[in-house]
A and B are shown apart, each in its own frame.
Chain A
Amino acid sequence: DQQVKQNSPSLSVQEGRISILNCDYTNSMFDYFLWYKKYPAEGPTFLISISSIKDKNEDGRFTVFLNKSAKHLSLHIVPSQPGDSAVYFCAGLYNQGGKLIFGQGTELSVKP
């Protein structure tokens, strides 16, 4: 049972444009949602999070939107830069114990 789903395995965007990465979840018990970024041959690194009681969180070029009724969240990157090219993982967090459930990942390619 895939509790967190990223249905787009890849996304290609032109430099300077907006990148929108999507994530759906089935479990209403998640307390937080997090986005991680992963470069090849490196471990994932934390990017941004949002509480389940919020609908938006912004950090510089990165904004995460949460639609609880639709059980959907999205990560917006504006403007996109070539250095943003990486695999992005969405994850749901159970606050008790800090257990993260990850999606399948979306590979973002930002072309100059």
Chain B
Amino acid sequence: DVKVTQSSRYLVKRTGEKVFLECVQDMDHENMFWYRQDPGLGLRLIYFSYDVKMKEKGDIPEGYSVSREKKERFSLILESASTNQTSMYLCASSSLGGWTGANVLTFGAGSRLTVL
């Protein structure tokens, strides 16, 4: 069974702390994504990556950075956490290329971050 694993399901951090959210996929997917989910706003794309060491800004990259040193791992970094970054963070991956019906986004279970 294919999997996207997010290392932390629940985190509580303090304002100003540096936060790392880790995501690992075992499907040999080229593409990886970080979204955040907020009530009334849906899923918003933070950053994505098409290949190792490559990254692209999504719709709301401010306050975040990412790292992709290995194909299977995509990390989201909050350099200095703020209360407005309290959210559910969802990692996803997909295979490269055009839509085939099979290369849908596969999501992890999410990481619920609370910044106090």
* A interface, CB within 8 angstroms of B: 4, 6, 9, 31-32, 34, 36, 41-46, 49, 89, 91, 93, 95-105
Contacts and interface: CB of A to CB of B under 8 A. Distances in A.
Given A89-B42, A105-B43, 13 more contacts: A9-B40, A34-B104, A41-B9, A43-B4, A43-B92, A44-B90, A46-B106, A93-B99, A98-B96, A98-B97, A98-B99, A99-B45, A101-B45
Nearest to A9: B40
Contacts, number: 63
Contacts of A101: 45, 59
**Which A-B residue pairs are the 10 nearest by beta carbons?**
A43-B107, A104-B42, A102-B43, A46-B104, A102-B42, A95-B98, A105-B42, A98-B94, A43-B109, A44-B107
B109 A42 contact: yes
B109 to A, nearest CB: 5
22 contacts: A4-B42, A9-B40, A31-B99, A36-B105, A41-B110, A42-B110, A43-B107, A43-B110, A46-B104, A89-B43, A98-B31, A98-B97, A98-B99, A98-B105, A99-B45, A99-B48, A100-B33, A100-B105, A102-B35, A102-B43, A102-B44, A104-B41
Interface in B64-116: 90, 92, 94, 96-99, 101, 103-110
